[in-house]
Amino acid sequence: MEDTLSKLKQTVGHLSLKIRKKPYIAIVLGSGLGSLANSIQNKLEVPYHAIPNFSKATAPGHEGSLTFGELGGREVVAMKGRFHHYEGWSMNEVVFPLRVFKLLGVENLILTNAAGGINTQFKPGDLMLIQDHIGFFADNPLRGANMDELGVRFPDMSQVYDRDMIQVATECAMKLQYEVRRGIYAYAKGPSYETPAEIRAFRTMGADAVGMSTVPEAIAARHMGMKVLGISCITNMAAGVLEQTLNHEEVMETGKKVEEKFSKLVTEIVRSWS
């Protein structure tokens, strides 16, 4: 872990020399939702391959760069392309960028993702504010020696997703006259989609949506005391909900369809969050 910490410091040192201002909010963009980064003004784009100790994004729909700049009148950094455990990255590698953000001085985080709808009231294209998550099946990113510089050994997870941020996001959606859902996000390892039996089990557990990201990042961010907001784009109904098979193209297509709505909502949240 000493090693991770020295890598973090090296990466933070490298980025600090490049950026003009400290970002106020970091935004992680999920599958098909990367175009929000185009709305960022006065931007500085840094590809992952040019950042020491960063992994390379491999998932389709994930471009692989950090965009620093202004959105909604605020300094932000957006991650176009995240690292998933299913790509083969360790959980330590998955959460590395979040730790870099925190050490750069970023205190607020918006995690976005594409997710399958488990709640039968949901439909593809819906946006869901994450109220809580079920992460039983995710290896914990805090496993191993604790990095005391970042947080405590046994961090509390009673309120992973910040209540005030959920409230602000709800008000922003009302202002834009968008309907948003609230619900529980369940983590699935991927990369295969779930079976109908797994989806029924998740529903019994209380999940409304399922996806292959977000939970490890949210845990690592809360470990460091960051404020976290999670937004899922319901790109498809989860396995077995409808009489049809699942594919990544559908996920990307729905992401494209809601991109503008999603970008406007996130921009309004960034503008309104203080």
Nearer to ligand HPA, 220 or 251 (CB): 251
Instruction: Quote the least distance from Cβ 119 to ligand HPA, whole Å.
Output: 12
Per annotation, catalytic residue among 24, 31, 78, 263: 31
- CA distance linking residue 211 with residue 228, whole number of Å: 17
Per annotation, catalytic residue among 48, 57, 75, 84: 84
Largest CA distance in the chain: 53
Per annotation, catalytic residue among 92, 232, 236, 263: 236
Is position 248 annotated as part of the catalytic site? yes
Cβ neighbours of residue 247 closer than 8 Å, sequence gap 6 or more: none
Instruction: Quote the least distance from Cβ 261 to ligand HPA, whole Å.
Output: 17
Is position 205 annotated as part of the catalytic site? no
Per annotation, catalytic residue among 87, 194, 217, 268: 87
Nearer to ligand HPA, 70 or 253 (CB): 253
DSSP string, 212-234: SSSHHHHHHHHHTT-EEEEEEEE
The tokens describing 28, both together, are 């992680």
Per annotation, catalytic residue among 212, 237, 238, 239: 212
Half-sphere exposure (CA, 13 Å, Cβ side) for 253? 7
In the complex, which residues of this chain contact ligand HPA (CB under 6 A)?
Answer: 114-116, 188, 193-194, 210-212, 235-236, 238, 246, 251
Q: Which residues of 77-113 are buried (b: 16+ CB within 10 A; e: fewer)?
A: bbbbbbbbbbbebebbbbbbbbbbbbbbebbbbbbbb
Half-sphere exposure (CA, 13 Å, Cβ side) for 117? 21
Instruction: Quote the least distance from Cβ 255 to ligand HPA, whole Å.
Output: 9
Instruction: Quote the least distance from Cβ 205 to ligand HPA, whole Å.
Output: 15
Is position 86 annotated as part of the catalytic site? yes
Nearer to ligand HPA, 172 or 251 (CB): 251
Nearer to ligand HPA, 5 or 252 (CB): 252
Nearer to ligand HPA, 71 or 251 (CB): 251
Q: Which residues of 46-74 are buried (b: 16+ CB within 10 A; e: fewer)?
A: bebeebebbbebebebbbbbbbbbbbbeb
Is position 87 annotated as part of the catalytic site? yes
Catalytic residues: 31, 62, 84, 86-87, 114, 212-213, 236, 248
